[in-house]
Amino acid sequence: MAKMIHSMIRVLEEARSVEFYRQAFGLEVAQRVPFDGFTLIYLSNPETGFELELTVNAGRGEPYEPGNGYGHLAVSVEDLDAEHERFTGLGLPVGKLVDMQHGGKPFARFFFVTDPDGYKIEVIQRGGRFQ
């Protein structure tokens, strides 16, 4: 059986992105691997074995466009209200809290935050299928 291990996004400024993911999600650099022309930065935390891979291409001066094929990354948290308040206090670009229903029953409670390169991250209350 296959095991999901990481997702990769291209970012313009390494330090800015690393700081965003550290502040927002407690992700730290697990490994930084420089190559000719690009650098790979793997971010993780003790909560999961899944990693976020940041790719920084040398000489890139213009921002990337997430495009219409990218949807979002998702992370689950224990206390959504506290995280929304914390993100807001940090000045991160957060959206409103959303309570999503399906069939008249609660399905998900979440908000979105946008990283410095325009990628959307869903922050969802842990529970049910969202562990």
What single-letter amino acid sits at 2? A
Report which secondary-structure segment, H or E, holds 103: none
Contact assessment for residue 109 and residue 98, using Cβ atoms and an 8 Å cutoff: yes
Q: Using alpha carbons, list the distances in angstroms from residue 30 to 5, 49, 53.
A: 13, 11, 10
**Active-site residue, from 51, 53, 83, 122:** 122
Element (H, E) at 111: strand 105-114
Query: Could you tell me the two tokens for 78?
Result: 């224990």
Q: Is 78 a catalytic residue?
A: no
- Residue 116 φ/ψ region, left for φ over 0, alpha for ψ in the -120 to 50 degree band, beta for the rest: alpha
Catalytic site residues?
A: 122
